[in-house]
Structure 1
Amino acid sequence: MKRILAGVACFFVLGHIVLAQSIYSFQGLGSLNHQGMPNNFAMGEVGIGTPSVWHINTQNPANLVYNNFSTFQVGLEVDRRKFSGDDVSGSDTGGGLRFLAYAFPIMPGKWSSSFGVLPYSSVSYNTFSSGEIPGTDGDVSQISDNRGEGGLTNFFWSNGFMIKNKFLVGLRINYTFGSIEKKTTISIGGTDVPLSNVTYEELESYSDLNVLFGAGYKHKISDGRYINFGAIYSPKSSLNGTSELFLIRLTNTGGEIETVPVGESSLQFDLPQLFGLGASYERANLYKIGFDLETQRWSKAGEVAQRYNNSLKVALGMEWTPDYDNVSSYFKRIKYSAGFNYYKLPYIVNDQALTDFGINFGASLPVSGFSSLDLAFKWGQLGESSNGLIKETYYKIVIGATINDRWFIKRKYD
């Protein structure tokens, strides 16, 4: 079974990433992705104050202390979206690698470390607009085709430490990198005016370091009953990059005639200050109930030329195992999860704040040893179909593999 999971992992790593379109990903750095694992995703995306022994916690590095096994996780996400609004409808499907992480104890119970890859943002959109050229009495019209694709990725290295009296601290260092390509093709033509096509192409490339600090505390109420607390903080930091602009002349049929480099300039996008709190109640090997609250000060970050809201995310979820030790019933050993979340996005469209609401559920299916196959599903709604906005109804499926083992330990007996 472990060989099968390793093969699935290699397939995911080598797989090509194709993102589903989101109308609102033209804003800022694109659609911002959840930074947790499938077990967190299935619990409504909680994780700041909800530690796990069997899975890697990528939301709060302090919780890595509980990973006493060497843990490898990899997973795939499939995203299906439907669009609706004033005279607008459509759908799109995409998917690709969702996460890849490895955690291992350096001093079991005292210090654990982890590294991996998580998508930070995604850009994938294609919009059209048309209208008459002013002053031409309707004889000349213009059509604009706007496309964007790409996104940013976090390569992270995290460490969690146990301090006196069950107090935990952690540090995650992110190397955020990636590129975003934006194209606008303008077609002008009309009565006695030959069709003219031109494309403006902008390639934004980013790479920089940023950090996130974590803290946690586990309070024992009685045997097998605990309350967990967690907090995360990331200071405002600069994400530096470059922008290259090209002008492409096209034939009437869309063929490329000439590409003219317009110029290159430096970019600086300020990543906002982040603060999050989380808490959970745990009955060991039976159930957990967790709650997260997270906010980012986007109004003091982003781009100077664009206005943002401070974002707010609220998440609530639970995990339940009917009978962890039951050897006769496989289904009673499965971890079942459910939750929901509300997210006020930083982006503003038509002077309105965007909101995202989602309902999540999933299961962690035990396989060989302490490993598992993790499944998660989310139904969500982004935006609305009135006030000049477009409503996106989406479905996300996350399929992950978790391999837990005691690696790098010298055998005493053969």
Structure 2
Amino acid sequence: MINRLLVAFLVLTTVSLSAQRNNSSPYSFFGIGENFKPKTVEQASMGGIGVAMKENQYLNFINPAATADIRVSTYGLGGLVSFLTLKEADASQSGNTTSLQYIALGFPIGKKAGFSAGLQPSTTVGYSLINEMLDVDGEITEITRNSGNGGTTRLYGSFGMYVFDGFSLGIEAAYTFGTIEREVLNQRANVALATKYYEETTIRGGEVKLGAQYKTKLKKGLELSTGAAIKFSNELNQTGNKSLYSLSFSNSGFEIPRDTVYSDPYKGTFKNPIQTIIGFGLGKQNKWYVGLNSEFQQAFQDTSNSANYAFENSIRTSIGGYYIPKINSISSYWDRVTYRAGLRIENTGLLIRNGNNYEPINDFGINVGLGLPLPKQLSNLNLGFEYGQRGTTNNNLIKENYFNVRLSLSLNDINWFKKREID
């Protein structure tokens, strides 16, 4: 019965995850939106590390080779509440979004392999930018609003297995799908009709990632782990329609379309460049762990020929870890809690034009988190908190200050896929 309820919940949640708007960043204007870096709440609370981590009761979205370490059936469900403040040189605006970040399950296959599958957002779009033109008297002569929403979702399957003691390999295949809507509304003073450009794009495509991990035991119970993952470049097919038309507004503010200038279908592709992640970690099993990740990605190939922005190679560095005072403590619940912390620094690869130069958009975040044991065997409630900044207010650009609250359930049971016997 429990498995049937979980399947129904996963189907309903899939619809919700595909339809939600989970971003309000103006930087999601570029490309097909802001990239979501696949990671669990546990990994995000440690700065996003995980390419070298080998845990037997947690899912790992960064390295498919870690799937080989799953020893109990695991359901993962994660959500995010993001509080965002946008700052310009002389103004600021705040807002928040709530979104489901992933649903996933994993289970062991024999004693040396495992499989994981799930649904995650891949890119997100959510922005509304208004530009006003003024005359010499300070009166508004023209208003233009750029807005967009939507994004893409990835359905993935990951398999990992041990080749020999301490060394595992993994492969992940994913299918990306979604719809993005963008529009530009322009209204001029003393002109009866406004004009609107509307674009709706459906995106489809697949991707493949390979991973490897190795862990060796050192003296005094220490364990050294290393890992690497590579996601190959892939093309996403885009189909949709572009239209331009005039419109007026009713007294209640609803749009009334008038004359259509053009409405044309189009096809295109968006190429994701190759991405490489490497890292290592040191720790004691069920006690503490410290790891370092470095992620490299080639520049996106943009076909819009825009002079206002460009792309370069991106790099992301994460450092973090966890500490458990006493995992089997009976006298103190807080001694069984997992305490996590991490730091993330990133050059996003996005360049915004500033005169004759381009301003790089950088991002950093500070993370802390807790893994709270639940009465059910090996299950946890995970909380994560992140404060970060992206962009700059220099040269009339926008700076984001954000505070993210993450919550996840990691439900584990050794009996979920076992047939029950009746005596």
User: Quick check: 2:247–2:259 contact (8 Å CA) kept in 1?
Assistant: no
**Cα distance change of structure 1 residues 375 and 251 upon mapping to structure 2, 3 Å threshold:** same
SS of the aligned residue for 2:192 comes to strand
**Mean CA deviation greater in 16-25 or 347-356:** 16-25
User: Quick check: 1:124–1:148 contact (8 Å CA) kept in 2?
Assistant: yes
Q: Does 1:196 align with 2:187?
A: no
Distance 1:248 1:77 in 2: 38
Distance 2:78 2:64 in 1: 20
Amino acid corresponding to residue 157 of structure 1 in structure 2:
G
Amino acid corresponding to residue 295 of structure 1 in structure 2:
F
State which of 202, 218, 221 in structure 2 corresponds to 1:221.
218
Distance 2:349 2:125 in 1: 15
| Sequence identity percentage | 28
- 1:38 positional shift: 0.7
SS of the aligned residue for 2:305 comes to coil
TM-score with structure 1 setting the length: 0.91
State which of 245, 249, 267 in structure 1 corresponds to 2:246.
249
Distance 1:276 1:124 in 2: 28
> After superposition, where does 1:261-410 map in structure 2 within 5 Å?
262-299=263-300, 301-303=301-303, 305=305, 307-350=310-353, 351-367=358-374, 368-406=376-414, 407-410=416-419
User: Quick check: 1:187–1:198 contact (8 Å CA) kept in 2?
Assistant: yes
C-alpha offsets along residues 203-241 of structure 1, whole Å, 9 cap, x if unaligned? 111101110110110111136321111001122211111
Distance 1:345 1:259 in 2: 41
User: Quick check: 1:356–1:383 contact (8 Å CA) kept in 2?
Assistant: yes
C-alpha offsets along residues 255-277 of structure 1, whole Å, 9 cap, x if unaligned? 22247461011111110111110
**Cα distance change of structure 1 residues 139 and 105 upon mapping to structure 2, 3 Å threshold:** closer
**Cα distance change of structure 1 residues 65 and 328 upon mapping to structure 2, 3 Å threshold:** same
SS of the aligned residue for 1:333 comes to coil
Amino acid corresponding to residue 64 of structure 2 in structure 1:
P
**Unaligned ranges ≥5, structure 2:** none
**Cα distance change of structure 1 residues 88 and 243 upon mapping to structure 2, 3 Å threshold:** farther
Distance 1:118 1:138 in 2: 47
- 1:305 positional shift: 2.5
- 1:278 positional shift: 1.2
User: Quick check: 2:20–2:150 contact (8 Å CA) kept in 1?
Assistant: no
- 1:98 positional shift: 0.7
Equivalence for 1:100: 103
Amino acid corresponding to residue 198 of structure 1 in structure 2:
T
- 1:14 positional shift: 6.7
Amino acid corresponding to residue 189 of structure 2 in structure 1:
G
Distance 2:167 2:160 in 1: 11
Amino acid corresponding to residue 175 of structure 1 in structure 2:
Y
Give the number of equivalent residue pairs. 405
SS of the aligned residue for 2:189 comes to strand
User: Quick check: 2:23–2:125 contact (8 Å CA) kept in 1?
Assistant: no
Distance 1:138 1:397 in 2: 42
> After superposition, where does 1:159-198 map in structure 2 within 5 Å?
159-190=159-190, 194-198=191-195
C-alpha offsets along residues 28-87 of structure 1, whole Å, 9 cap, x if unaligned? 121111201011010111111122222100110001111110100011111110011123
**Cα distance change of structure 1 residues 327 and 188 upon mapping to structure 2, 3 Å threshold:** same
Dislocated runs of 4+, deviation >4 Å: 9-16, 136-140, 411-414
- 1:189 positional shift: 2.0
User: Quick check: 1:19–1:93 contact (8 Å CA) kept in 2?
Assistant: no
Amino acid corresponding to residue 176 of structure 2 in structure 1:
T
Equivalence for 2:120: 118
State which of 211, 233, 236 in structure 2 corresponds to 1:236.
233
User: Quick check: 1:189–1:196 contact (8 Å CA) kept in 2?
Assistant: no
Distance 2:140 2:377 in 1: 70
- 1:412 positional shift: 6.8
SS of the aligned residue for 1:50 comes to coil
**Cα distance change of structure 1 residues 62 and 84 upon mapping to structure 2, 3 Å threshold:** same
Equivalence for 2:60: 57
User: Quick check: 1:50–1:278 contact (8 Å CA) kept in 2?
Assistant: no
SS of the aligned residue for 1:298 comes to coil
User: Quick check: 1:12–1:74 contact (8 Å CA) kept in 2?
Assistant: no
User: Quick check: 1:228–1:281 contact (8 Å CA) kept in 2?
Assistant: yes
Amino acid corresponding to residue 315 of structure 1 in structure 2:
S
Q: Does 1:41 align with 2:49?
A: no
**Unaligned ranges ≥5, structure 1:** none
TM-score with structure 2 setting the length: 0.90
User: Quick check: 2:248–2:258 contact (8 Å CA) kept in 1?
Assistant: no
**Cα distance change of structure 1 residues 139 and 315 upon mapping to structure 2, 3 Å threshold:** closer
Distance 1:17 1:235 in 2: 28
**Cα distance change of structure 1 residues 291 and 138 upon mapping to structure 2, 3 Å threshold:** closer
Equivalence for 2:130: 128
SS of the aligned residue for 2:335 comes to helix
Distance 1:274 1:316 in 2: 19
Amino acid corresponding to residue 393 of structure 2 in structure 1:
S
SS of the aligned residue for 1:387 comes to helix
User: Quick check: 2:283–2:290 contact (8 Å CA) kept in 1?
Assistant: yes
SS of the aligned residue for 1:62 comes to helix
SS of the aligned residue for 2:50 comes to coil
- 1:121 positional shift: 1.1
Distance 2:174 2:123 in 1: 14
- 1:196 positional shift: 2.2
Amino acid corresponding to residue 183 of structure 1 in structure 2:
E
Q: Does 1:205 align with 2:202?
A: yes
